[in-house]
Chains A and B, each alone.
Chain A
Amino acid sequence: MTGLTQTEMEALSGRIGRRPNPVETSIVAAEWSEHCSYKSSKKHLAMLPRTGAHLVDDSSYDSAVLDVGGGYVITVHIESHNHPSAVEPFGGAATGVGGVIRDILSTGTRPIALLDGLRFGDIRSDSHARWLLRGAVSGIAHYGNCIGVPTVGGELGFDPCYADYALVDVAAIGFGLKTRLIQNHAEPGDAVVLIGGSTGRDGIGGSQFASDSLESDDRSAVQIPDPFTEKLVIEAILEARDAGLLHALKDLGGGGLSCATSEMSDSLGVGMSIDVGQVHTREELASHEVMTSESQERMLGIIAPGSVADMQEICAKYGIACSRIGTVTESSDLHVHDSGADLARMPVGIVANAPLLDLPRTRPAYLEELARARVPDALPGGDYSASLLSLLGSPNIASTEHVYSRYDHEVGIRTVVRPGRDAALLRLDNAKYVSLAIDGNPAHCYVDPRAGAAGCFEEACRNTVCVGARPIGMVDHMQFASPQDPEIFWTFIESLEGISEYARAMEIPCVGGKVSFYNETPSGPIKPTPVIGVIGLADSAPKNPAVADGDVIVAIGTSRNEMGGSEYYSHVHKTVAGSCPQVDTGSSRACLDAVLALHDGGLAKRVHDCSKGGLGVALAKMCIWEGRGCDVALDGAPGCADMGADVALYSESHSRFVAVLGAPDAQQALDIAAKSGAACAVIGRFGGSSIGINYRGRSVASVGLQDASDTWHTSLERTAHG
């Protein structure tokens, strides 16, 4: 695992004016890996809008920092740990949680919540996918529960494109006083300290591993999670923060000390001299191994030379190590030595900035084939009861309670809206509420990467307004196969453009993100899988008044014939056909505003967005949650009158919601929605013991509430243990 390509080796030699020695080569190889350097994506990421009212602009942070008022900030970060999880799901997922938590901690804020997005192959037929699911869930539970940070939400998806692979995305939120943020700065003479777990041979070469496909790896880069040490690191760092000891702070993630020291020096505009002999190790290591080990639960800090003893005293109280491993220098070099014997000396600006690429891209051939795919016929007889029940049991739709009940989602006592609903909502100390929703949709992104990615973004916004919060920022996590395949790279750029366009139109800044390439399974590339996290802010929590029989059900937003990538076609007809749902930014704004206005007016008892499985599944889930049947005329929903029952039930058009209102409030709600410019109509009422859906005067689906509820609640658990 050498890491540098011939071209890169030449570029490095040219820039430093000589051939690098082996230690220098391994340091640069770690930092110039795709995972650390973003060499394939960086030029293009500039298109994302990055300014917004709440954003505390400081590029030295590894997490987004957002001002939420009253002197407080929240921090947000998202990352994945796909390659490690695909070979060791327990340790891979657990250490993924640990890494994101330390990114939050590095700003000087306390982590208060975690969300995870998990994707695997088809667990119905693939026992290896079930093994990966069980391992990843156990790993997240093991780590998150132990460090006392609640796992408050996320998503779970399955697609054969992830066979023998796993996507494990973790997002985290931090909270703290703005005045206590680490003000990343450094003076020559400052001490560089390494805090936390000891350095060992585990995880060596991990970032390069994450930048290769699974076919070519040597699978040695296993990391062992130690959540107890992480908890001690969290408490020690926060105590040091309160004591004002920390000038600068950074998590050690991919690329280990090589990346942390070079990136920190580069962003602070200083040099660093690092003595590998001072690093606390758990075994004999070669110098290049010390510099590239990705052992977990470690933080790099810069403190005044006179504070080293105080820092070590705090760490000793928590039983963790704190080694002084170097000094900040006036030069602009990263200098690495072993107790005085020189090992490497290179300008940090060179180490931390890989030559960027502008890779070629072409529209994938498969899209032509998809465009010609035949759309399935409407079901003979026009009864969709069986398909509705079947969809409720689809692993992509069924309740994930079996998974989230294994995570402590309440520790810290901030959780107001729990997992299983549209978005997680947490109360803050300034009497405000922060929400976070993460959404991906590889089925849509496969059919149309641009519209699909914008749709993921809109879905996360829909989930945000469902809990009464207004979107204030977005984090994107772009997961694709090899960028060196021009067809893959085209899908990356299309997705990025779709996200950027929606962000600009809605004035929601991209506050952070991550790119993960080389997500390849033994049988080929994964579908484009951008995952979007939207952060929302609310002044009050939803009141959740009791729902009663006779309450009216309202459909907000216009349905269109957009069946491409629909769960109905893939689950029931085993096919992909039709056009992908498109986001119309005008309707999106109108519908999101309408929902927020209904919340503000105290009119909506419940609001739920339409996503996988369309209006049919949204209505059924609403009935299951409230324990009531319904009687609905679907042709009354905006846009549904002439499209055919299957499309009306299952099209996955964006910008749509179903809301529940008290009958006397219905007219006022319609007026409010109309004022926002949102299409809106009363389509039925709660009552009875079955989910009854009619279309143009005929029953098209009638499912007993108990059947629907049992199927939705128990399918995933049964499948996961199959």
Chain B
Amino acid sequence: MPVFDVRVTIANKQSLPDPEGATILQDLVRRNNNTDVTEIRTARLLKFKVSAPTAQDACKNISEMCRELRIYNPLVSEVSVESD
């Protein structure tokens, strides 16, 4: 079976604040005159290598696994799962 690179990005839901991103934006980026930057959101990126019949299956399997193992808390975080 082929092996796929699957990237899982976990971030606070867009409706919730992201204090770390806000601090990097306010106290580092904008303070140093980069006023064209208006938002920074942080996230965690997990890179998986997974064997599966298709890229679609790989993403589906990893999505389910992340939910089952509580790799993220669905109450707080939203995830995106991508493969090339």
Contact = CB atoms under 8 A, between A and B. Distances in A.
Interface of A: 87-88, 90-91, 131, 198, 200-202, 219, 222, 224-226, 228-229, 282-283, 295, 319
A88 B17 contact: no
B26 A319 contact: yes
Nearest to A227: B19
A547 to B, nearest CB: 46
Given A131-B70, A319-B26, A319-B27, A88 B75 contact: yes
A47 B68 CA distance: 49
A222 B17 contact: no
Interface in B12-35: 12, 15-19, 23, 26-27
Contacts of A88: 73, 75-76
Given A88-B75, A88-B76, A224 B16 contact: yes
Contact of A224 (B12, B26, B70): B12
Contacts of A201: 15
B16 A219 contact: no
A402 B15 CA distance: 35
A369 B13 CA distance: 49
A697 B59 CA distance: 69
A224 B17 contact: yes
A87 B18 CA distance: 19
Nearest to A219: B75
Contacts of B12: 224
B26 A222 contact: no
6 contacts: A88-B76, A202-B16, A224-B76, A228-B23, A295-B17, A319-B26
Contact of A222 (B27, B70, B76): B76
Contact of B76 (A91, A200, A282, A283): A91
Given A202-B17, A219-B75, A228-B19, 11 more contacts: A87-B75, A91-B76, A201-B15, A224-B12, A224-B16, A224-B17, A224-B18, A224-B76, A226-B17, A228-B23, A295-B17
Contacts of B26: 319
Contacts of A91: 76
A129 B76 CA distance: 19
Main SS at interface, chain B: loop
Query: Interface size bucket, B side?
Result: 10 to 19
A641 B78 CA distance: 63
Contacts, number: 35
Nearest to A221: B75
Interface string B66-84: 0000100101100000000
A222 B19 contact: no
Contacts of A225: 19
B27 A282 contact: no
Nearest to B31: A319
Contacts of A131: 70
Contact of B17 (A228, A282, A319): A282
A127 to B, nearest CB: 9
A291 B8 CA distance: 37
Interface core residue of B15, B17, B23, B27 (most chain A CB under 10 Å): B17
Interface string B26-54: 11000000000000000000000000000
Contacts of B70: 131
Nearest to B17: A224
B79 to A, nearest CB: 16
B33 to A, nearest CB: 16
A224 B22 CA distance: 13
Given A88-B73, A91-B76, A226 B27 contact: no
- Which 6 A-B residue pairs are closest in the complex by CB-CB distance? A226-B19, A224-B17, A224-B16, A88-B75, A222-B75, A202-B16
A550 B73 CA distance: 55
Contacts of A226: 17, 19
Contacts of A228: 19, 23
A696 B21 CA distance: 67
Contacts of A90: 73
Contacts of B18: 224
A229 to B, nearest CB: 7
A200 B15 CA distance: 9
A88 B26 CA distance: 27
A516 B76 CA distance: 24
Nearest to B22: A226
A180 B16 CA distance: 37
B17 A200 contact: yes
A232 to B, nearest CB: 10
B7 to A, nearest CB: 23
Nearest to A128: B70
Contacts of A295: 17
A306 to B, nearest CB: 29
A229 B19 contact: yes
Contacts of B23: 228
Contacts of B19: 224-226, 228-229
